[in-house]
Each structure stands twice: as structure tokens, then as C-alpha cells.
């Protein structure tokens, strides 16, 4: 089995599997069939069998998948056991929301500290995380290995901060600034988060549902006319 063959689409689906399998495990469930999993995830059973088939034969006929094994394998594939070290840049609304509500350790990351330019925040501790001055970012990176930077600075500052991160050996940027950051291939890896994507998807589906409802009403009206004729 060649691990190179896992497609980007499968990799993108793995966090979703992990999320739901963890919820199922927390509720005490041990095994699940691809059909059950399909109903929860909205992914077809063949797709699920294909995705999970990459990591060996977890499924047992008549029993389904053994949840602890798949969770362990997905965590391994996603590199969750490497104890990646993260810093957070920009402690405005979105940065603060992550600092206070997002459980980095749950995903195998340890959040070392935050950085901000606001002197009122610098030096304080938010949810157990120290906020340092943005002026000290470069010297901090020179002395500490950082795998991932969580970028929550204002849009206008995104590019400049990303350059400092890339030049100082940070390996990945989780970009939540709602602006696209392009970096030369082979340097730092960037995940550009666009929250609006989900909102636009919702808008599309509401439009489609309205269209389907309208079509159904028309069909019913036509049937009624035919019956009464």
C-alpha cells in the first residue's frame, strides 16, 4: 500500500470523519457501518469505503468499522501526534475567539503564545496564553521553533506579517484574515480560510430549494387541474 496515493479530496474529508467518529466515541459507540456513517456525514457508502480503505482493512463484514482503530489511524495520517507548536498573531475579535474558545490541544497542537500591537493587551494572559508584543515576533522566532502561525491580524497587515513568518522558518500559516496570501511554492504552506464560502453555499441551496418547491407546487396544481377536467 503506497501512502502517496491518498488524494487531496480524501485528505480534506478526513477531519470530518475524525470529528464525527470522536462524537460517536464520546457517546459510547464502538462500531459503525459505512451506511450509518454515510447518513451522518452525507457522504455515499462507496466513497466512505474508498476513503477509509486507504488506511488498511478496518471494516469487518457484518460489524462495520471499529471506531477506536479508525480514529487512531486518521490521527496518525493527519500528523496529530507530532505535538505541533503554534503561535497566534492578532488578538482582535477573531483571534480572541480562537484563544478563548478553540481547543488547540484537542487537535494535537500546543499554543505557545499570542502576539498583538495593542499595548493594552500586550503582557496580559488570555485563557492561559501570554500575549507578547508584535515587535518581539522576529526575536521570538529566532529562539523558538514554531510549526504553525494562526494569522488573525487586520487584512492590511496580513502580507507583511506573513513575510516575517515565512522568512523565519514557520512551516504553516492558518490564514484567517479573509485575504488571500500567496507564497512561493515550496516555502511556507498556507491554508486560506474563507468563512464566506459556507454562507454562499447556503444561499445557493436556499435558492435551489425555493425553485424545487415552486416546481412541486406547479406539478400538484397541474395534477389537480387534470383530475377536475
Q: Are 152 and 129 in contact (CB under 8 A)?
A: no
Number of Cβ atoms within 10 Å of the Cβ of 206: 10
Q: Which stretch binds a second copy (CB under 8 A): 6-14, 28-36, 53-61, 65-73?
A: 6-14
Q: SS3 for 121?
A: coil
What's the full length of the chain, in residues? Answer: 229
Q: Is 186 exposed, middle or buried (0-12, 13-18, 19+ CB in 10 A)?
A: exposed
> 63 or 82, CB closer to a second copy?
82
**Other CB atoms within 10 A of residue 9 CB:** 9
Q: How far apart are CA 217 and CA 211, in angstroms?
A: 10
Check binding of 17 to a second copy (CB under 8 A): no
Can residue 26 be called a binding residue for a second copy (CB under 8 A)?
no
- Contact yes or no for 76/6 (Cβ under 8 A): no
**Candidate ranges 89-97, 133-141, 157-165, 219-227; the one touching a second copy (CB under 8 A):** 89-97
Report the nearest approach of a second copy to the CB of residue 18 (Å).
7
Binding status of residue 123 toward a second copy by CB under 8 A = no
CB of 69 to a second copy, least distance (A): 19
- Cβ of residue 189: shortest distance to a second copy, in angstroms? 5
Q: Which residues contact a second copy by CB under 8 A?
A: 11-12, 14-16, 18-20, 23, 40, 77-80, 82, 84, 92-94, 96-98, 100-102, 104, 106-109, 147-148, 171-174, 178, 180, 182, 189, 191, 193-207, 209
Amino acid at each position: 500500500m503506497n501512502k502517496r496515493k491518498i488524494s487531496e479530496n480524501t485528505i480534506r474529508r478526513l477531519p470530518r470523519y475524525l470529528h464525527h467518529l470522536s462524537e460517536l466515541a464520546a457517546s459510547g459507540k464502538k462500531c459503525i457501518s459505512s451506511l450509518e456513517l454515510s447518513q451522518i456525514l452525507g457522504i455515499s457508502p462507496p466513497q466512505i469505503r474508498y476513503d477509509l480503505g486507504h488506511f488498511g482493512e478496518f471494516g469487518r463484514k457484518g460489524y462495520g468499522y471499529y471506531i477506536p482503530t479508525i480514529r487512531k489511524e486518521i490521527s496518525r495520517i493527519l500528523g496529530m501526534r507530532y505535538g505541533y507548536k503554534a503561535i497566534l498573531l492578532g488578538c482582535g475579535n477573531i483571534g480572541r475567539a480562537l484563544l478563548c474558545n478553540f481547543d488547540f490541544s484537542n487537535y494535537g497542537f500546543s499554543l505557545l503564545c499570542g502576539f498583538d500591537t495593542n499595548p493594552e493587551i500586550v503582557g496580559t494572559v488570555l485563557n492561559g496564553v501570554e500575549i507578547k508584543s508584535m515587535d518581539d515576533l522576529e526575536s521570538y522566532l529566532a529562539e523558538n521553533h514554531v510549526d504553525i502561525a494562526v494569522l488573525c491580524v487586520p487584512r492590511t497587515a496580513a502580507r507583511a506579517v506573513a513575510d516575517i513568518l515565512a522568512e523565519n522558518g514557520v512551516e504553516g500559516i492558518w490564514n484567517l484574515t479573509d485575504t488571500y496570501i500567496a507564497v512561493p511554492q515550496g516555502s511556507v504552506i498556507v491554508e486560506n480560510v474563507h468563512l464566506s464560502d459556507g454562507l454562499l453555499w447556503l444561499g445557493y441551496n436556499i435558492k435551489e430549494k425555493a425553485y424545487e418547491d415552486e416546481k412541486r407546487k406547479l406539478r400538484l396544481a397541474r395534477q389537480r387541474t387534470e383530475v377536475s377536467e
